[in-house]
Chains A and B, each alone.
Chain A
Amino acid sequence: MLQERASEKYTRWLLLLVACSSLLTLGGIVLFLFMEGLPIFNSISITDFLLGSLWYPTDEPPLFGIFPLITASLAVTVLASALAVPLGVMTALYLAEIAPSAVRRVVKPFIELLAALPSVVIGFVGMVLIAPLMQDWLVAASGLNILNAALMLAFMSVPTICSVAEDALRAVPHSLREASLALGATRWETLAQVVVPAALSGIGTAIMLGMSRAIGETMVVLMVAGGAAISPTSLLDPVRPMPASIAAEMAEAPFRDVHYHALFATGIVLFLLTLTFNVIAQRIAEKHQTSSSAC
């Protein structure tokens, strides 16, 4: 009897440990990120790092201004969202509210398949297929630019945005729709003025998750964004988003050298940005839960 109780206790501890492991991992990674990133500020001030406009990490003396990298990340993310949000949300609306179930059964798996495409494959498409087209059709100096990267990132965020938004739309209680229709509203009016407002916070979460997916994506921007460390002035400028810079340079940066610390510090900035997106998404989701339970 005693034996059994002891084993039960151990099992419980084991499960607790398992449950905590992801928390510990996250904590460990964040701690490591800060430990390796913060020493850069011994050799350069925070303002020079964040607002400096020249990124020459291996020159003598090195220059670590990541402002062009931050603007690059924001530019591709914002543009990607501008493309992906309408596409994702409207697809979700169609699938959740309008599509006959036969259509839905065919279309939905394909959208989910889009999410399963490895990013390197999408990057390859951008590099080999889209880049030459942009040079020919848009007369871009180089097809490796913001627009190309944003297009590819939009491809990747559409499935996320679409499936989260669709769930939110489906969670809107049927009673709301019925009440609206009963009051004489048309199907369109019901959709635009009742269902979408009721699901708005869920759609907001979807958008935020899609954006954080886009800002953290590495392979695609490494392959198609162009890699020039300049603050962009046009949609067809090549840029160097933060993840691309970290991925390209980390392997060759000497261990615990200033360059190494600078890349980790860039990682901190990137982490704080994605964290912001996720916190906003979480906030919106919480609001969503309370509002739907009130219905």
Chain B
Amino acid sequence: MNAFRLLLAGALAITLAAPVAAAEKDIIVNGSTTVLPVMQKVSEAFMAANPGVHISLSGGGSGNGIKALNDGLCTIAMSSREMKAKEKEQGKAKGIVPVRFTIAKDALVPVVHPSNTVKDLSVQQLRDIFTGKITNWKEVGGKDEAIVVISRDSSSGTFETWAELIMNKEKVMPAALLQASNGAVTQAVGKNKKAIGYIGFGYLNDALKPLTVEGKAATAAAAKDGTWPIARDLYLFTNGQPTGMVKTLIDFTLDQQKGQKFVEQVGYIPLSK
């Protein structure tokens, strides 16, 4: 019984002491779910390389992250969009000076089955297909076949990007098949002659045919120079120029040999060398 009590006391002591010890080197990262997978890999590698540093990571959306930065609740905000004027004002009122770091480019490409004869769609056509206004491939110059629309789960960052850059506030139709990952979309489109979906650049393979959009081909170069219409920058924001461990973390993320490797693994386009 004594031994049991000792054990209990010990366990209690550990649980109480742990957060206190960690708090000294806590880096809190909050924000966009699009950026989240990159930062997940980055922080795992960073914590492994720097024992004693603890990074606590949470999603919740770009708006959430920026709000947390303005309220002093996080060290780094992840965002898939620029700060809005209103958010900058709110931060200014609280003495926050946001500094922006571009860490990657997220570019999506609409894909169809290789046997599909359609080659190019405009942004408007893509939107109409995903809202359900266009339901047959012949309406966009293809065969007389129904269109099977494959989208991503609405809480994924990929969906968020698609919704922002293509859907323009309109809803993806309820009958669209929502898949849980880029891999599942690849499977579903690659096995279905009538399907259309969208994936990150990094997931393109021979089983899929990428469409050109507004006559432009999906290349990394086009995404980088801004001519590809379905691409956006991914950012980290800090309050003032980062110092100490936070600076080391940001440098780590921007490093071609370190963080940028993870950017590529997750399926985004790394910064140009």
Residues in chain A within 8 A of chain B (CB atoms): 10, 54-59, 68, 127-128, 131-132, 135, 141-144, 222-223, 226-230, 237-238, 240, 247-249, 251-255, 257, 259
Contact = CB atoms under 8 A, between A and B. Distances in A.
Given A141-B148, A223-B184, A253 B155 contact: yes
A252 B59 contact: yes
A56 B160 CA distance: 13
Contacts of B155: 57-58, 248-249, 251-253, 259
Nearest to B179: A227
Interface stretch (B14-22, B186-194, B232-240): B186-194
A254 B160 CA distance: 14
Contacts of B193: 135
B28 interface: no
B192 A229 contact: no
A-B pairs, 7 with minimum CB distance: A252-B155, A254-B60, A227-B178, A248-B180, A58-B154, A248-B153, A226-B177
Contact of A142 (B1, B154, B160, B177): B177
Contact of B180 (A55, A56, A142, A222): A222
Nearest to B160: A58
Contacts of A56: 154, 171
Given A58-B154, A249-B155, A68 B64 contact: no
B263 to A, nearest CB: 19
B61 interface: yes
B131 interface: no
Given A56-B171, A58-B154, A128 B191 contact: yes
A142 B156 contact: no
A255 to B, nearest CB: 7
Contact of B174 (A54, A58, A253): A54
B108 interface: no
A55 B184 CA distance: 21
